[in-house]
Chains A and B, each alone.
Chain A
Amino acid sequence: MRRTWGAVAAGLAATLVIAGCSGRDLEGDNKSNGASGEQITLKVAFWGDMGLDNLKAEYEKAHPNVKIVLNTGEFNAQHEDLQKKLVAGTGAPDISAVDEGFIVQFRNQADKFVNLLDKGAGDYESKYLDWKWKASMSADGKQIGLGTDVGGLAMCYRSDLFKAAGLPTDREEVSKLWSNWDQFIEVGKKYVAKTGKKFVDSGTNMFNPVLAQQPVGFYNDQEQLQMDGGPKVAFDVSMKAIDAGISANLASFQPNWNQGFKKDQFAVLACPAWMLGHIQETAPDQKGKWDIAAIPGGGGNWGGSWWTVPSQGKNIDAAVDFVKWMVQPEQQIEVFKTVGNLPSQPDLYKDPAVLDYKKEFMSNAPTGQIFAATAAGLKPQYLGKKNGPTRVAVENVITRVQQGGLKSDAAWAEAVKQAEKVAKTGKA
């Protein structure tokens, strides 16, 4: 008796294994666009929150044969992972987000991505901001990605903390407090003197927005390192802020920084549109305590991404369909409303749904108007191939100053040295 049971169990197990294999085979062999009714799984890789949760449900409902798997991770890690899988030739997600800091690196490997122009994406060219469309294009005219969002740049501030420090709280008046970065640091000193708390989150979060406002960043379009231009200006501002003692010296996007939100360790935060989602997620109980003013120095862009489709995928056509669907106005507006990411299609800036939108979390600030104004008049900066690692290297020097391991007057020489090392080897 026992023996028969054993045999039955073994038989069942074998059937299961066989069934499992065949199921996977079917899925793997499927190269069609999903119209045939076979099950397709699309893996989407990105970082933070790109507002896809609702879109996923909506799309799966409309396309019952498509299953979307969302894979969010750490910003740098996701890009490095994509690079590894591209070289390995296998394992890459069906769809991957790529940030502006890495887009040059990936557009130079355009043969590893689906050329979206072959899939009829050329129709979208006129809808995009001109520079956004061109930034994801390879030198030989292949389009590797469709733009999702642009960063824009503004200054988020805690109106409750401003009030406690005797500063104005209205967003117009706050904007008038700081037309340039020197004034901003002065306001910071006043705040610190009054409250005994720090004003900005970190020196690196001063450096990045100031750098974003410069005409030339780390590299010129000949891929030559230009430390004495924009980076020097931005670095000096960050050193001045650290020396003035207004920085809480927290490392961005890390646990201590997130804790800093909750413990009121800083009162302002340079915020591109995508930062709103992060604030909302990190400090959900601070609803109505944040507001948005203009950034000192006026305008600028920080971040913004593209959806790309690696050509090694097995369901390329289905992936392209999903990407096209995601960049349609309705979806872009929905993402804008849920997480705050600003679309990169200028027509949408005139759309009442964007223009009249008030973000409840940010004290009903008209985020559409604020960010669209900064993005529309933007002159984009060229971000070189090694922009990502160079930024990490210079940020590390700023962190060392914050930690007290390096004097601020010796820091610039060190920053140049580290940046040159990266420019030479490509490694931070």
Chain B
Amino acid sequence: MSLTELRPASHRQAPPPKNVKTRSWLYRFDNKTVPYIFISPFFILFGIFGVFPLIFNGVVALRNWRLDDPTLTGWAGFANFSRLLSDEDFWNALGNTFGIFILSTVPQLLIALIIANLLNRKLRGNTFWRIGILLPYLTPVVASTLVFAIFFARDNGMANWFLSLVGFGEETPLDWRAQKWSAWIAIATMVNWKWIGYNALLYLSAMQAIPKDVYEAAAVDGAGPWRQLWRITVPMIQPVVVFTVILSTIGGLQLFNEPMMFDENPQSASGGSAHQFQTIAQLIYKVGWKDLDLGYAAAMSWALFLIILIVAGINTLLTRRIGGDR
């Protein structure tokens, strides 16, 4: 070994080949590996707090794991999932989640679009308006929901006071929590209030990147503001629209804080006396941490994960169609 290495060294001047080898190794290491080391903290943390719980949750979903009855343990196969199919509480919660999701997402994005369009004009106190619409987003969910819970109270609630001004429910005030439709509207209102400004601001930033001459050309061709909005603005900010649709799909299907705090007795996590507004996320919490049935709760969260994937996929396809291909 030493012989073969020494001989070429005598022919060359400098540097010795061993050094070259280490250096090139170092160089390659620096070039190829170090970047990965630099970005690794994120992936390590993501692995620990993102991937591992996801996989572990999948394992738990296939097991019996009950805190109230520790003797019931072991593999359950797909029993938890098949139980899901015949669980009326689950389907009820799924219905509630979708009901509230549609009541919140659709108006939320439409209103955000219209507000963004208004803010995109020349206005006095531009910054003031823009920050103003973002304020609800800055409010902690729990705080705003508690205020809304009082707003929608049966006795002495402000919502009922407004209704009484137009002559509705003066005799028997509306109990917002009693019926599905009223509870859904109340919860959707809270969600809309919080997220409209945020989405509007996203749309606004995308709109400002649209070149002005497109609008001018459209105006010359005789397109009114409404036509401009749907034919020019929306197609041109389509990537942002897709982004907000996916984001609000995920948020809407995971709705938890609002129905939780809206309940008369938040501790019960029951979503009303007959589960009128119990969402899936709430049901998962109740099954896992109040009924102490962790395996079943894990199966539910996997089901929720799949449902979100499907719905987000469908929504993306729909939005793409609305945007460009028409």
**A positions within 8 Å CB-CB of B:** 74, 76-77, 80, 83-84, 87-88, 251, 253-256, 259-260, 263, 265, 392, 396-397, 399-400, 403-406, 426-428
Q: Is the CB of A404 within 8 A of B175?
A: yes
Known contacts being A87-B68, A87-B292, is A256 close to B154, with CB within 8 Å? Answer: yes
B177 within 8 Å of A (CB atoms): yes
In whole angstroms, how far apart are the Cα atoms of A253 and B265 in the complex?
8
Known contacts being A259-B156, A405-B273, is A251 close to B178, with CB within 8 Å? Answer: no
Known contacts being A403-B178, A404-B175, is A256 close to B153, with CB within 8 Å? Answer: yes
Interface string of B268-296 (1 = CB under 8 A from A): 10100110100000000000011111000
B30 within 8 Å of A (CB atoms): no
In whole angstroms, how far apart are the Cα atoms of A84 and B291 in the complex?
10
Name 12 extra pairs, CB < 8 A, besides A399-B264, A403-B175, A405-B274: A83-B68, A84-B67, A84-B292, A87-B70, A88-B67, A254-B264, A260-B155, A403-B179, A404-B178, A405-B178, A426-B291, A428-B270
In whole angstroms, how far apart are the Cα atoms of A409 and B267 in the complex?
29
Q: Is the CB of A396 within 8 A of B267?
A: no
Contacts of B70 in A (CB 8 A): 87
Q: Is the CB of A77 within 8 A of B267?
A: yes
Q: Is the CB of A396 within 8 A of B68?
A: no
Least Cβ–Cβ distance between B6 and chain A, in angstroms: 47
Contacts of A76 in B (CB 8 A): 267-268
- Cβ contacts A to B, 18 pairs, < 8 Å: A76-B268, A83-B292, A84-B67, A87-B68, A87-B70, A255-B150, A256-B153, A263-B155, A265-B155, A396-B270, A399-B264, A403-B177, A403-B273, A404-B178, A405-B179, A405-B274, A426-B291, A427-B293
Known contacts being A84-B289, A403-B178, A426-B68, is A396 close to B274, with CB within 8 Å? Answer: yes
Q: Which residue of B lies closest to A254 (CB)?
A: B264
Contacts of A427 in B (CB 8 A): 291, 293
Q: Which residue of A lies closest to B287 (CB)?
A: A427
Contacts of A77 in B (CB 8 A): 267
Known contacts being A83-B292, A87-B68, is A392 close to B268, with CB within 8 Å? Answer: yes
Contacts of A265 in B (CB 8 A): 155
Q: Is the CB of B264 within 8 A of A400?
A: no
Q: Kindly identify, within residues 50 to 85 of chain B, every residue whose CB is under 8 Å from any CB belonging to chain A.
A: 67-68, 70
In whole angstroms, how far apart are the Cα atoms of A80 and B268 in the complex?
11
Least Cβ–Cβ distance between B104 and chain A, in angstroms: 23
Which of B175, B268, B276 gathers the greatest number of chain A CB atoms within 10 Å?
A: B268
Q: Which residue of B lies closest to A426 (CB)?
A: B68
Least Cβ–Cβ distance between A63 and chain B, in angstroms: 34
Contacts of A254 in B (CB 8 A): 264-265
Known contacts being A83-B68, A405-B274, A426-B68, is A74 close to B267, with CB within 8 Å? Answer: yes
Q: Which residue of A lies closest to B67 (CB)?
A: A87
Q: Which residue of B lies closest to A427 (CB)?
A: B291
Contacts of A259 in B (CB 8 A): 155-156
Least Cβ–Cβ distance between A71 and chain B, in angstroms: 15
In whole angstroms, how far apart are the Cα atoms of A74 and B154 in the complex?
23
In whole angstroms, how far apart are the Cα atoms of A404 and B289 in the complex?
30
In whole angstroms, how far apart are the Cα atoms of A87 and B292 in the complex?
10
Q: Which residue of A lies closest to B177 (CB)?
A: A403
Contacts of B270 in A (CB 8 A): 396, 428
Least Cβ–Cβ distance between A104 and chain B, in angstroms: 14
Q: Which residue of A lies closest to B146 (CB)?
A: A255
Interface string of B209-250 (1 = CB under 8 A from A): 000000000000000000000000000000000000000000
In whole angstroms, how far apart are the Cα atoms of A400 and B175 in the complex?
11
Q: Which residue of B lies closest to A256 (CB)?
A: B153
Least Cβ–Cβ distance between B211 and chain A, in angstroms: 51
Q: Kindly identify, within residues 34 to 51 of chain B, every residue whose CB is under 8 Å from any CB belonging to chain A.
A: none
In whole angstroms, how far apart are the Cα atoms of A294 and B38 in the complex?
75
List 5 A-B pairs, minimum CB-CB distance, nearest first. Answer: A403-B178, A399-B273, A251-B264, A87-B67, A396-B273
Least Cβ–Cβ distance between B35 and chain A, in angstroms: 30
Contacts of B289 in A (CB 8 A): 80, 84
Least Cβ–Cβ distance between B45 and chain A, in angstroms: 22
Contacts of B273 in A (CB 8 A): 396-397, 399-400, 403, 405
In whole angstroms, how far apart are the Cα atoms of A152 and B292 in the complex?
32
In whole angstroms, how far apart are the Cα atoms of A259 and B154 in the complex?
12
In whole angstroms, how far apart are the Cα atoms of A404 and B174 in the complex?
10
Contacts of B274 in A (CB 8 A): 396, 400, 405-406
Contacts of B150 in A (CB 8 A): 255
In whole angstroms, how far apart are the Cα atoms of A25 and B270 in the complex?
41
Q: Which residue of A lies closest to B89 (CB)?
A: A427
Contacts of B153 in A (CB 8 A): 256
Least Cβ–Cβ distance between B73 and chain A, in angstroms: 12
Least Cβ–Cβ distance between B190 and chain A, in angstroms: 17
In whole angstroms, how far apart are the Cα atoms of A88 and B264 in the complex?
30
Least Cβ–Cβ distance between B84 and chain A, in angstroms: 15
In whole angstroms, how far apart are the Cα atoms of A253 and B291 in the complex?
22
Contacts of A253 in B (CB 8 A): 265
Contacts of A400 in B (CB 8 A): 273-274
Contacts of A83 in B (CB 8 A): 67-68, 292
In whole angstroms, how far apart are the Cα atoms of A427 and B83 in the complex?
15
Least Cβ–Cβ distance between B141 and chain A, in angstroms: 18
Contacts of A74 in B (CB 8 A): 267
Q: Which residue of B lies closest to A399 (CB)?
A: B273
In whole angstroms, how far apart are the Cα atoms of A422 and B155 in the complex?
32
Q: Which residue of B lies closest to A80 (CB)?
A: B290
Contacts of A255 in B (CB 8 A): 149-150
In whole angstroms, how far apart are the Cα atoms of A403 and B293 in the complex?
30
Contacts of A88 in B (CB 8 A): 67
In whole angstroms, how far apart are the Cα atoms of A83 and B150 in the complex?
32
Q: Which residue of B lies closest to A253 (CB)?
A: B265
In whole angstroms, how far apart are the Cα atoms of A426 and B289 in the complex?
14
In whole angstroms, how far apart are the Cα atoms of A403 and B175 in the complex?
7
Least Cβ–Cβ distance between A368 and chain B, in angstroms: 33
Q: Which residue of A lies closest to B150 (CB)?
A: A255
Q: Is the CB of A256 within 8 A of B155?
A: yes
In whole angstroms, how far apart are the Cα atoms of A427 and B270 in the complex?
11
In whole angstroms, how far apart are the Cα atoms of A255 and B179 in the complex?
20
Contacts of A251 in B (CB 8 A): 264-265
Interface string of B145-162 (1 = CB under 8 A from A): 000011001111000000
In whole angstroms, how far apart are the Cα atoms of A403 and B270 in the complex?
16
